[in-house]
A = this chain, B = another copy of it.
Amino acid sequence: MNGAQALMKTLADAGIAVCFTNPGTSEMHFVAALDSEPRMRAVLALFEGVATGAADGYARMADKPAATLLHLGCGLGNGLANLHNARKGKVPVVNIVGDHATTHTQYDAQLQSDIETVARNVSPGFVRTSASTEALCQDAVDAVQAARGLPGQVATLILPADVSWGEGAQPCAPPAVPAAPAADDASVQAIAQLLRSGKKTALLLGGQALRKPGLLAAARIAAQAGVPLLAEVFPTRLTRGAGLPAVERIAYLAEMAGVQLADLEHLILVDAKAPVSFFAYPGKKSDLVPDGCSVHTLAAPEQDALASLEKLCAALGAQQAQPRLQAPLRPGRPTGRLTAPKVCKAVGHLLPEGAILIDEAITSGLMLGAMTAGCPRHDLITLTGGAIGQGLPNAVGAAIACPDRPVIALIGDGTAMYTIQALWSMAREQLHVVSIIFNNASYSVLNVELERVGAGEGGAKARAQLDLAGPRLNFAQLAQGMGVHAVRASTAEDFTQALEYALATPGPHLIEALVPESLSGAKRKLLPWLLKSLPSLPRPVARALKQKIAP
């Protein structure tokens, strides 16, 4: 048995069932070994960012890692942005990065580069170059164990070609999955006491706490203590919909987050980090925790968030408390000229039970949360690391993890173009994914940010850098060129009908929504002024305004 064959068996034994691939010559033995292991599914991507983003989406839904197969340092580089999103989302991924044979590296051939250095950016916890065919399978077990621990992480195993083709390899037994500890009794008691004190307190949930069991436990605590539930701004995976506790996500815009967090005396973190501004802005604080507010940790990312919440629930005697649950509610069918909010409305009107909703719509998705809050239960996946180009690849992986659940990916035009090659993998694997592209012909969010960072309104050259209108992209043609059924819609009626058809018809679909910018003209001019005013307004007015802008 050669290294690649033993590695394949070791990965399959460790529960890895899918490998998202974009191989080159140095990975040919791994590719050949695919046929020796019926438990391993290989999904080809045309670009590494698709492979890594698919592995991320897969793990978010399957709750276990997939492998990627990447070609040397350049292949890893191409996959880096979506591995960054996985890292920030604490998502387990096992990268297999092929390298030149160990005997070949000394010659500095064309594709030679320092792979470990690149890998450290996204795999700070586990980067290893396998030194020999004999060591390979244990290296793989260690990589899977590192990836699957709490918090989940990206593990990178670098596989030299001669380690892969060498004979005499032995598969290794799968790693033990380490049990994560719950919060200790003293911490739980201290937080319980805080919650009984009547001080203005909120729970901030992230990571594992945003699945159904965690949400229910947190909602009982919230009901018992009379405190609000907040969620991190970009959850890895948030289970939501009618019959589940609703949580309010921290806003992307720091000024709005300020309104949400104002007056808090205590903030309790559950598998979440204390909120910080996404970017820095001149003269503004990056730390969003209000002055005088104490931050407490119930469960750190390396702890068991659910067990910790249940301990806190018990300490408060809240096991029988009635959690506030979201009532069923769907928006009506939108009509008239298509706009981004109407797209969100149509999605809310039709969202099927069990759908996987992927939100990378940036400004166009502002109303998505409100429009789908009362829909049947579904999962929401968001842009955890801020590296755009995540949504379409995530959809590939989520659909492979959950073949019986429809995937709806809402994607901005700018973001869609980073990893547009994902559409081909959707067609190849005949995945039931509906990709909705908001074509507003603009990096709309940057038009807002240009002014928010104090760089002024921008001259003609500056504005041109944020403008996608010359020429305007035709996403329906792009999708058709990759074998995906696609239509364009410029009325709400057409859009809604297209979405109905796509949801009812298995296989991939793309619907291009031709919409005006959500924040254009007067609205964009008003926004900076409004954001600046928010902190000085009376709280109820500020909250009402914030809800109006980003519910």
Contacts and interface: CB of A to CB of B under 8 A. Distances in A.
A181 interface: no
A46 to B, nearest CB: 4
A74 interface: yes
Could you say how many copies of this chain the assembly holds?
2
B458 A32 contact: yes
Contacts of A481: 473-478, 481
Given A108-B273, A111-B386, A276-B109, A49 B78 contact: yes
Interface string A55-89: 00000000000000000011101101100100010
A26 interface: yes
A359 interface: no
Interface string A477-507: 1101111000000000000000000000000
Interface in A266-306: 273, 276-280, 282, 286-287
Given A28-B449, A458-B32, A84 B78 contact: no
A111 B462 CA distance: 23
B446 A25 contact: yes
A110 to B, nearest CB: 4
A129 B475 CA distance: 38
Given A453-B28, A460-B35, A473 B420 contact: no
A516 to B, nearest CB: 20
B286 A23 contact: no
Given A32-B459, A420-B421, A462-B32, A387 B25 contact: no
Contacts of A278: 25, 109-111
Interface stretch (A117-125, A215-223, A308-316, A368-376): A117-125
Interface stretch (A99-107, A318-326, A344-352, A395-403): A99-107
Contact of A78 (B80, B384, B449, B474): B80
A135 interface: no
Contact of A110 (B81, B110, B386, B428): B386
A389 B454 CA distance: 37
A78 B428 CA distance: 24
Contact of A104 (B277, B427, B461): B277
Contacts of A122: 113
Interface string A21-61: 10111101101101100000010101101000000000000
Contact of A47 (B104, B385, B417): B417
B29 A453 contact: yes
Given A101-B280, A110-B384, A31 B450 contact: yes
A114 interface: yes
B482 A104 contact: no
A107 B387 CA distance: 17
A234 interface: yes
A471 interface: yes
A88 B110 CA distance: 7
- Enumerate the 7 nearest inter-chain pairs by beta-carbon distance, A residue then B residue, closest first: A35-B459, A471-B483, A77-B80, A477-B481, A101-B280, A104-B280, A74-B387
Interface of A: 21, 23-26, 28-29, 31-32, 34-35, 42, 44, 46-47, 49, 73-75, 77-78, 80-81, 84, 88, 100-101, 103-104, 107-111, 113-114, 117-118, 120-122, 124, 161-162, 165, 233-234, 273, 276-280, 282, 286-287, 383-387, 389, 414, 417-418, 420-421, 424, 427-428, 445-446, 449-450, 452-456, 458-462, 464-466, 468, 470-478, 480-483
Given A474-B480, A478-B482, 19 more contacts: A23-B446, A25-B279, A29-B453, A31-B462, A32-B455, A32-B462, A34-B465, A35-B458, A35-B460, A73-B80, A88-B110, A104-B276, A109-B386, A110-B234, A111-B385, A117-B120, A118-B118, A161-B279, A165-B455
